[in-house]
């Protein structure tokens, strides 16, 4: 099979999977005992880090949170915190990739790139996390 056809087929499958996932997330009912966690930006920030590291997909994390916000389960400020966490969580993928190309243990330029990726995402999150409510208010005005 032609490499271009494989790439396009993979992207189509990925897109269809994300659409199905988003639809399922929109209709998901959330137990009431999770309301505190879902409404708190700091806990959602931690959740964004952990879930993105587990899923190894910031696209999946972003799709999930967008669907939950659209369905009214998660308030916008908490979603902003989650997205900031997902940006840090996706750094784990860079460390895994560095390990894969370095024979099992990240070293050299691969390690340096992974570390810089993590540090930049952490710096960005640390500088924006105190302002999640302002960012959410701005986003509400834009949309």
Range with the poorest average pLDDT among 32-36, 124-128, 139-143 = 32-36
| Average pLDDT of span 130-136 | 95
- Please give the span between the terminal C-alpha atoms of the chain, in angstroms, as a whole number: 43
Inform me whether the pLDDT recorded for 100 exceeds 60: yes
CB-based contact 129:84 (threshold 8 Å): yes
Q: Scan for tokens 């024979």, then name that residue.
A: 103
% of the chain residues with pLDDT over 90: 38
Confidence band for 80, pLDDT divided at 50, 70 and 90: very high
Rounded to the nearest integer, the mean pLDDT of the chain is 85
Q: What pTM value is reported for the model?
A: 0.77
Contacts for 26-32: CB closer than 8 Å, 24+ residues apart: 26/67, 26/68, 26/70, 26/71, 27/71, 28/68, 28/71, 28/73, 30/73
């Amino acid at each position: 099979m032609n490499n271009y056809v494989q790439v396009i087929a993979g992207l189509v499958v990925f897109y269809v999977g994300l659409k199905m996932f988003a639809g399922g997330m929109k209709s998901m009912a959330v137990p009431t005992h999770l309301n505190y966690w879902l409404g708190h930006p700091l806990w959602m920030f931690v959740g964004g880090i952990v879930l993105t590291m587990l899923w190894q997909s910031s696209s999946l994390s972003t799709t999930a949170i967008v669907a939950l916000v659209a369905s009214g389960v998660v308030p916008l400020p908490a979603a902003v915190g989650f997205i900031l966490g997902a940006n840090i969580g996706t750094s784990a993928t860079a460390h895994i990739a560095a390990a894969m190309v370095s024979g099992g243990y990240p070293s050299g330029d691969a390690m340096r790139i992974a570390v810089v990726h993590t540090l930049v995402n952490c710096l960005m999150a640390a500088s924006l996390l105190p302002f999640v409510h302002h960012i959410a208010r701005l986003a509400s005005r834009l949309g």
